[in-house]
Structure 1
Amino acid sequence: MGRIGEALATTVEPVSGLQRASRRLIRNLTVGGLLLAAAYTLLGWLWDGHGLLESVLAGIALTMAILPEEIPVILTVFLALGAWRISRHKVLTRRVPAVEALGAISVLAVDKTGTLTQNRMRVAELRLPDGSAHDRDARELPEPFHALVEFAMLATPADPFDPMEKAIQQFGLHWLTGTEHVHAEWAPEIEYALSPEILAMTHVFRGDARDTHLLATKGAPEAVIDLCHLAATDAAAILRQVEGMAERGLRVLGVARGEWHGEAWPQSQHDFDFRFLGLLGFVDPPRPEVPAAIAECRSAGIRIVMMTGDHPATARAIAREVGLSERAEVITGVEMAALDDAALRERLHRVDLCARLKPEQKLRLVQLLREGGEVVAMTGDGVNDAPALKAADVGIAMGERGTDVAREAAALVLLDDSFASIVGAIRQGRRIYDNITKATRFVFAVHMPIIALALVPTLLHWPVLLMPVHIVLLELVIDPACSVVFEAEPADEGIMRRPPRAPSDSPFAAANLRYAVIQGLGFAGILLLGFGLLTGWGVEAAHSRSAVFIALIVGLFLLTLANRDLAHPALARQRARNPWLPRMFGGVAAMLAVVIGLPFFRHVMGLSLPNASLLLASGGMLLAALAWLELLGRVTRPRASALPAH
């Protein structure tokens, strides 16, 4: 327990790419925004002749226009609602940054039992050392197999929790009830627990004679064979039986019995004298949804690595049955221990199946995969899995059969232990990341006209176009409303047919922001041109401002539609509906009607009631903006796949 605690304390949870990118963006925008706002204040005061207080207020307003304060709203709302949406797929989010990392997963390390399989064990086959076999379809249990089942039951708790031990007790009670081989009243005097050194457990019972004790042992076949000190030829024959059973997908346990005479208990099970009784084979059928879910992962470019404590042949058989990997090579824990990190990292390029693993070896595998540039998700349920769950980019604990320590260390908890739930969460993670990228692109596109309309008229000695109250209304009400609409965007149809994004990608990547800036600057140029023409034609400032303001607000709708899907025109009919689009459009339109229609708000905003000519001017600017967005889309559409959230 101390070593596990030390491993948990020294294992650092990875910082998500979104956290790193947002910190860098905030730092750069803060410095740039403050410098530009200070320059704008001085320009307004010294260059344009405005009062100092008015210039300072205008500088503050420009700072609001520059800093995309919607970004914290987007990150908080999208990830929080994303966690809620993922919970509908039976996955509980314990750490919100994991929602973002889901979309970048490139390696999914999964346990076999309970994740790929149903974790409903049944005894399917019995084998004696001489090769005699008994399968589950037989109508009776011959006498030679009674001792094998009897001592398997004695080596198992009477009221077990583990599915394999439950299967042993159910099988034994079915066949042996009413015989002398059932000992419900017996309780072990001492127990030798399973350990990393000896993968077997022994129950010791008081015998009939004084100082005589009966031993019942079960565990990994190779461990039980070692405890029995069998001759090499006998051990090889039994191991061939184990291999044959495992190749049919059975989990195999060895069973032995022994006697001990004496008062002092030995320190190790190796000091007892055992006789090998035979093998038990268990069937644990794969979950019916697993093959389709694995196929979906493979089409999405996600590599699946099985990490199990089972026999290599069992792992290979289950992997073949569910279509996990076309590569038959398996690496075992013993082989891993003999390799240094460089050799093991090279071996992992060729191996998808890892068997007979100890928990600390899972941690090593996760760390090596991450060092190789992979984004790793890992499933686990035991206390010993906790360090590896914490070290993974996305640790996924089992909710039904997992321990509290595993759940505490993990970022996600599977409520139904189903592999299909993991795939559903990955699909949602990709959708959430795509929508964050779309919303980020929209926000930066919108800020360009706000900055330009506030800054350029001052430089050209034009009448003030955007006043601080306009910027406040846009920044605090309208822009966030439009941004949050992207959270409800449905997933792209091909979202699970494309490879995982690179870990270095982010919504704030240069390609995404560059596209947004070009979008926004083109829109800003159209609005400034319209304002300049109206001013040049002698239209009063309030009327010109009203025409541009209406075009700007309605233009937000166009930008919203244009950034939903870069592969289609802004006004094209989208394949999937977003229920929040009409609500957002209606709400913003109602707000615009109130601002323009009510005299009080119109006076505060420095606007005028538009006539037919002004509405026509606004319509002309909007048509030009639509033409610009469509032209930009046509030019960049062949390369749209290079942008995040295509």
Structure 2
Amino acid sequence: MSTQEATFHDQPPGNALAWFASSPEGLSSPEAAERLAQHGRNELPPPPRRHPAVRFLRQFHNVLIYVLLAAGAVSAGLGHHVDALVILLVVVINAVIGFVQEGKAEAALEALRKMLASHTPVLRDGSRQMIASALLVPGDIVLLEAGERVPADLRILSAHGLRTDEALLTGEAVPADKLPDAVAPAAPLAERSSMAFSGTLVTAGSGTGVVVATGQATEIGHINRLMSRVRELKTPLTEQMDRFARGLTLVILAAATLLLLHGMLLGGLPFSELFMVVVGLSVSAIPEGLPAVLTITLAAGAKAMANRHAIVRHLPAIETMGAVSVICTDKTGTLTCNEMMVVRAITACNAYEVSGSGYAPNGEVRSREPALQTHGGNALAELALAASLCNDAALRYGDGAWHAEGDPMEAALKAFAGKVQARPEDSRQGWRRTGCIPFDAAHRYMAVLNRSGTGDTVIHVKGAPEELLAMCTLERGPDGTARPLDRAAWHRRIASLSAEGQRVLGFAAGATADGLSSLQHHHLREGLVFIGLLGLIDPPRPEAIAAVAQCHQAGIAVKMITGDHAGTASAIAREIGLREPQNVLTGAEIDALSDAELAGSLVHTNVFARTSPEHKLRLVTALQSMGHTVAMTGDGVNDAPALKRADVGIAMGNKGSEAAREAAALVLTDDNFASIAAAVSEGRTVYDNIRKVISWTLPTNAGEGLTIICALLFGMALPVTAVQILWVNLITATTLGLALAFELAEDNTMRRPPRRRSEPLMGLELLWHIAMVSLLFLCAVFGIYAYATDKGHPPELARTLALNMLVVLEIFHLFFIRNIHGTSFTWKAAMGTPAVWICVAIATTAQFAITYLPPMQRAFGTVAIPFADGLLVVVAGVLFFILIEIEKQIRLSLKAAALG
């Protein structure tokens, strides 16, 4: 237990302020800097890391590696020192790749933690500021808001319906109410309602608290429970491939044992030579580097997504994004700019147009009818006052522009109030909030209780205009008095604004009895007067319009889910380019549909208005029941169930709550729909690259192994020696295959329909490709060997030609496999990527070295190849490339015809 908490939870809140020499206005910046130096950063120590030497040694902890090391030891014992050295090089190089990749993975995790680091609103220097949670110090005044993590241990100073989820500390599933009142000194942790603890989640309401403990001094620090926000870079795919590699290893070792027994019984080769041949077979046929290359492919995809503003929290999401067939997206801030601006103000006696841009409180408020410019000015001022007081946002000027702190809509209301009242700082002058009902999706309004400098107590309410109209019986007339409410007229005005794509807010006010110090829902049941409407717009992002069109081209349905009015949603959908924008389904209509009826209506409906988080969950479930792979965006606390239920949950990094980010697999750092489309493209590219790696590795390994197996079974001379096979595996496995991990997207990546959920990674098409390429490898290697023998070339030259034939075939196979969805006969395909050419250059240089350098010739039994024979090897590689490319085009044409 923290001694500081034991000191403060049972005392009045003022004692905590006095203890830390703080005040309700917060610390000054110099004082905060001094305390940060004294107390340190507000963060727990990072998880322990293994020493680099231990990490390197762990790369050898693998059954396959043990087999190879044993084979190397036996080889050395039999006097095959070169073979033993090559085996050792294969093992060491694979270990180095794994070691480097693990280091990159840890660096990626650390970078991800930093990118997902939370920020906290505080009061410093007497004003609201947003700072990194790690910079909090004891005495800071923290502003608590629903959906955010409590950043440190706090003594509650004020609370308005404040509740926190403390399950990670207390195990209690029900959120705890928080109040500023002191509790008993002996109260257990779960009953300390006057405290908010670091790491817990604010589920409802708002409040303020003074920081009493940070970092390791917090409760969560004392019990050493660091909440990890990312998972290890280990995915079901890599686990599946690990199992595949282990199973394949056992099969190959069994086959190698049978071949060894076969060779010993027939007695065609000395045991030492036979053993090395079998070792060469094992090393060549086992794709020992495949899991590492796949992990590198996923890590490269995660980095590419991060560069396109999509942070991957769980790597399986990369694969899943490539299969997404429906994207369910929020509107505000995702499809639009999230820079709300009031453009229309309507009172009972006048309608105004509001000019300006962004959040700057500068602009004109002009009557739409010049003759009525001065008519109803008091109602407009009252509307501006309500917009300012029923508000938790703030406007800050910096770097030459006005910036919003808090909800964008509320910031726009602040800007509107500044335009009406000429000076932004006048909008709350002389008013003090004494009670609040925070906005909640359940009741769709926010209410505040304020006391003026003259002692008047007034309730101001803002929210969905339909809700407020149902709560009011009066409206503000032109002379400032209340008159009977004309609901029909207001509904016409709401419909008119909504049809123009504006978000409409209603405002009401009412005087209350003196002495009222807190606000409850029942206080709003009578006496409210409807003041007017404000229409706000949030223009579509230009890049989102292009991204929606790209998704449609890729066969992905885009569905917009918003809490806005149906007219607003339809108008924005039309501007964004959604299909059938006129078909709008509201939350009330969703409630009236059965699950089967809802699924049926989704076929022609892409716009959902006036929805709640519960509706999101139903929509995801209905779409999945239809066989879709669903990506769902969310930013609120209540979005978490839908985000978890979706195949890929996508949280907003800027406006999203911590609860949404923790439930999501992807976090957008720019809250932009275009980043979702980019993530789909990257997901498809990563999946393609995984298929390319597998489709290149397995056929080439099978071709190498099949060459040795046929030679042993039929008693033929080996076209390639064991040590040469080891050399090929050393060069290709660590270079050519790795190049495919960094392939760029193919031209038609976003013009293909999404892959089926049931589509296997290794299906009949891949098995056919393995069989075809293996046979072509076999024919080419034995063909070039037979050609050399027929010409009377010595065995060393014949084997050197066969060795180079293997490498040339693998290089041409690499260029073929780079374009599995299109033709390779293009200039772009021939140009390749820097990674491909670097790897090809390394493999080619190494092959020239083993062929022409005397020391390498002596070690590997090679000789120099005449130019004409070398040219023949390259021509054979070109013919191989043409054959498999023709087969691919026939296969793609048949597939297109079947789909057409």
TM-score between both structures, scaled by the size of structure 1: 0.88
Task: Find out whether 1:175 has 2:420 as its counterpart.
Answer: yes
- 1:254 Cα offset (Å): 0.8
Q: Is the CA contact (8 Å cut-off) linking 1:330 and 1:355 kept in structure 2?
A: yes
Q: CA deviation at 1:319?
A: 0.3
Q: Which is further off, 103-112 or 177-186?
A: 177-186
1:25–1:372: structure 2 CA closer, same or farther, 3 Å change rule?
farther
| Correspondence 1:135 to 2:353 | yes
Q: Report the CA distance between 1:250 and its aligned residue.
A: 0.5
> Where does residue 10 of structure 2 map in the other structure?
none
What is residue 836 of structure 2 aligned with on the other side? 581
- Find the counterpart in structure 2 of residue 525 from structure 1: 779
- 1:518-557 deviation digits (Å, cap 9, x = unpaired): 1231121221233345457765543322221122122222
What is aligned with 2:90? none
Asked if the contact 1:91/1:425 (under 8 Å) is kept, the reply is yes
Q: Which runs of 5+ in 1 are unaligned?
A: none
Aligned equivalents of 1:624, 1:544: Cα separation in 2: 15
Matches within 5 A, 1:602-621: 602-605=857-860, 607-612=861-866, 616-617=868-869, 619-621=871-873
1:261 offset after TM fit, Å? 2.4
How many angstroms does 1:359 deviate by?
1.8
**Does residue 512 of structure 2 align to residue 260 of structure 1?**
yes
Change (3 A) 1:113 1:581: same
Matched, 1:64 2:283: yes
**Alignment deviations for residues 12-51 of structure 1 (CA, whole Å, 9 cap, x no partner):** x9x9884686467446534533442332232233344556
Displacement, 1:481?
0.8
Matched, 1:221 2:465: yes
- Residues 325-374 of structure 1: CA deviation (Å, up to 9, x unaligned): 22411122222223332222222222111111212322332233223221
Paired AA for residue 161 in structure 1: G
Q: Of 230, 241, 257, which aligns to 2:493?
A: 241
Per-residue deviation, 1:447 = 1.5
Among 653, 659, 672, the alignment partner of 1:399 is 653
Q: Name the residue aligned to 1:487.
A: 741
The match for 1:144 among 371, 374, 379 is 379
2:808 and 2:873 in contact (8 A); partners too: no
1:496 alignment partner, SS class: helix
**C-alpha contact 1:444 1:520 (8 A) present in aligned 2:** no
Q: Separation in 1 of the partners of 2:613 and 2:166?
A: 12
Supply the distance in 2 between the matched residues of 1:573 and 1:170 (Cα, whole angstroms). Answer: 52
SS across alignment from 2:632:
strand
Contact 2:457 2:513 (8 Å CA) reproduced: yes
**In the alignment, residue 829 of structure 2 is paired with which amino acid?**
Q
**In structure 1, what is the Cα distance between the partners aligned to 2:278 and 2:493?**
82
Aligned to 2:450, the other structure's residue is in SS state strand
Map Cα deviations across residues 154-208 of structure 1 (whole Å, 9 max, x no partner).
Answer: 2123736111111112211221248999442312111112223311111112478
Superposed displacement of residue 636, structure 1: 3.8
Give a deviation string over 1:214-233, Cα, whole Å, max 9, x none: 11100111121222257999
Matched residue SS, 2:829: coil
Equivalent residues of 1:306, 1:352 under 8 A apart? yes
Q: Given the alignment of the two structures, is residue 122 of structure 1 paired with residue 341 of structure 2, yes or no?
A: yes
> How far off is 1:570 after superposition?
6.5
Q: Choose the corresponding residue for 1:633, options 870, 885, 897.
A: 885
Distance in 2 between residues matched to 1:38 and 1:222, nearest whole Å: 79
Report matched runs for 1:159-174 at 5 Å: 159=394, 161-174=406-419
Count of residue correspondences: 635
**Cα pair distance change 1:262/1:48, threshold 3 Å:** farther
The answer to whether the Cα contact below 8 Å between 1:199 and 1:223 also exists between their aligned partners in 2 is yes
How far did residue 486 of structure 1 move? 2.4
Say if 2:614 is the partner of 1:360. yes
Alpha-carbon distance in 1 for matches of 2:274, 2:657? 62
User: For 1:41 and 1:621, how far apart are their aligned partners in 2?
Assistant: 31
CA RMSD of superposed structures (Å): 3.4
Task: Answer yes or no: is the 8 Å Cα contact 2:284–2:725 preserved in 1.
Answer: yes
Tell me how far apart the structure 1 counterparts of residues 519 and 736 of structure 2 sit (CA, whole Å): 73
Unaligned runs of 5+ in 2: 1-163, 175-200, 202-226, 356-364, 367-372, 395-404, 476-483
In the TM superposition, what whole-angstrom CA distance separates every residue of 1:357-416 from its partner, at most 9, and x where no partner exists?
212322332233223221222222222223322332222222222223322332222222
Q: Is the Cα–Cα contact under 8 Å of residues 311 and 669 in structure 2 kept in the other structure?
A: yes
The answer to whether the Cα contact below 8 Å between 1:22 and 1:508 also exists between their aligned partners in 2 is no
Compare 445-454 and 110-119 and name the one that shifted more. Answer: 445-454
Segment drifting more, 376-385 vs 470-479:
470-479
Query: 5 Å matches for 1:367-378?
Result: 367-378=621-632
Query: Which has the larger displacement, 309-318 or 121-130?
Result: 121-130
State the alpha-carbon separation in 2 of the partners of residues 39 and 305 from structure 1: 59
Q: Against the structure 1 CA distance between its residues 247 and 34, is the aligned structure 2 distance closer, same or farther, given a 3 Å change threshold?
A: farther
Cross-structure match for 1:454 = 708
Residue number in structure 1 paired with 2:436: 191
CA contact (8 A) 2:580 2:604 kept: no
5 Å-filtered alignment, 1:25-36, equals 25-26=244-245, 29-30=248-249, 32-36=251-255
Structure 2 residue 760 is matched with structure 1 residue 543: no
1:64 to partner: Cα distance: 3.0
With 195-204 and 391-400 compared, the bigger mean Cα shift is at 391-400
Aligned residues of 1:512 and 1:643 also touching (Cα < 8 A): no
- Going from structure 1 to structure 2, the CA distance change for 1:543 and 1:157 (only over 3 Å counts) comes to closer
Among candidates 405, 412, 431, match of residue 685 of structure 2: 431
Q: 1:598 to 1:50 in 2, by over 3 A?
A: same
Instruction: Name the SS for the 1:521 alignment partner.
Output: helix
SS in 2 for 1:349: helix
Contact kept in structure 1, 2:238 and 2:294, CA below 8 Å: no
- Answer whether contact 2:340 2:536 (CA < 8 A) is retained: yes
Name the amino acid aligned to 2:544. V
C-alpha spacing 1:370/1:230, structure 2 compared with 1 (3 Å): farther
**Aligned to 2:510, what secondary structure does the other structure show?**
strand
- Of the structure 1 ranges 531-540 and 544-553, higher mean CA displacement relative to structure 2 is found in 531-540
Once the two structures are overlaid, the 10-residue window that deviates more, 386-395 or 217-226, is: 386-395
The alignment partner of 2:604 has SS state of coil
Measured in 1, the distance between the counterparts of 2:883 and 2:424 equals: 86
The amino acid that maps onto 2:467 is A
Code of the aligned partner of 1:437:
R
User: Structure 1 residues 416-425 or 487-496, which shifts more?
Assistant: 487-496
Cα 1:396–1:4 change in 2 (3 A) is farther
| C-alpha deviation, 1:429, in angstroms | 2.5
1:46 equivalent in structure 2 = 265
Contact 1:331 1:355 in 2 (8 A): yes
Q: Of the candidates 569, 576, 583, which is equivalent to residue 329 of structure 1?
A: 583
For 2:547, the equivalent position in structure 1 comes to 293
Separation in 2, partners of 1:555, 1:204 = 79
Matched residues in 1 for 2:505 and 2:874: separation?
Answer: 74
- For the structure 1 residues 52 and 382, does the alpha-carbon distance in structure 2 shift closer, same or farther, using more than 3 Å as the test? farther
1:102 is matched with 321
The answer for the alignment partner of 2:309 in structure 1 is 90
Give 1:625 shift. 4.3
AA of the residue aligned to 1:135 = E
> 1:561, 1:570 within 8 Å by CA — same for their partners in 2?
no
Change in 2 beyond 3 A, CA 1:437/1:183 = closer
Aligned residue among 571, 574, 597 for 2:852? 597
Contact 2:415 2:424 in 1 (8 A): no
Structure 1 residue 246: Cα displacement = 0.8
Task: Note if 1:79 corresponds to 2:298.
Answer: yes
Partner secondary structure for residue 492 of structure 1: coil
**Superposition TM-score, scaled by structure 2 size:** 0.65
Return the alpha-carbon distance in structure 1 between the equivalents of residues 842 and 424 of structure 2: 78
Structure 1 residue 200 corresponds to structure 2 residue 450: no
